[in-house]
Amino acid sequence: MAGTSRRYPMLRRSRAMWGSRRVWQPRLVFWAGALGIGVISVLFAVLADRAQELFHLMTGDGGGWRFYLPLAVTPLGFVLCAWLAHTFVPGSQGSGIPQAIAARHLRDDEDRSHILSLKLVVGKIMLTIVGLFCGASIGREGPTVQVGASLMLQAARWGGMVQARGLIL
């Protein structure tokens, strides 16, 4: 075997690389985070579509009194969402894309936690769904970016990665 190692140094290097935790840990963290983001994003999309369907069912297609229902439901829903965001999930304001970009440039992990956290993931998804149920014209893409960045940052923390900031985007 010693002769084989001398003749094929690439085999020795690749064997050491494939068996190294240092090499595999970042990859596993990345793939676990990506899988989690994919599952949550699909569930978010399904729930958002269902919320919009319920709004359309509630308001109806024809005339009658249901035609005027959005005039009351939509503003009240906006007030509810604004109050919930301000009271319980302060980092959830905005579309999500600028927040993810800003979090990548922050140096302090505590500051980054104000705009990317698991609490924010739940809050952002719930507020978006409530807004869509109330008739808001909200895109899912911006919130999905912030949710994905939060999940990837948390996966990096759980995986013990020192450079967690590099996994945000």
Sequential DSSP letters for 10-43:
HHHHHHHHHT-HHHHHHHHHHHHHHHHHHHHHHH
* Predicted local confidence at residue 7, as pLDDT: 63
- Chain CA centroid to CA 60, Å: 32
What's the rounded Cα separation, in Å, for the pair 153 and 89?
18
For helices 141-158 and 97-105, angle between their N-to-C axes, nearest 10 degrees: 30
* Predicted local confidence at residue 129, as pLDDT: 96
At 78-109, the pLDDT tens digits run 999 999 999 999 888 888 888 888 888 888 87
φ, ψ of residue 160 to 5 degrees: the values are 70, 25
* Predicted local confidence at residue 139, as pLDDT: 86
- Dihedral angle of Cα 67, 71, 73, 78, to the nearest 10 degrees: 140
| SS3 state of residue 96 | coil
* Predicted local confidence at residue 86, as pLDDT: 93
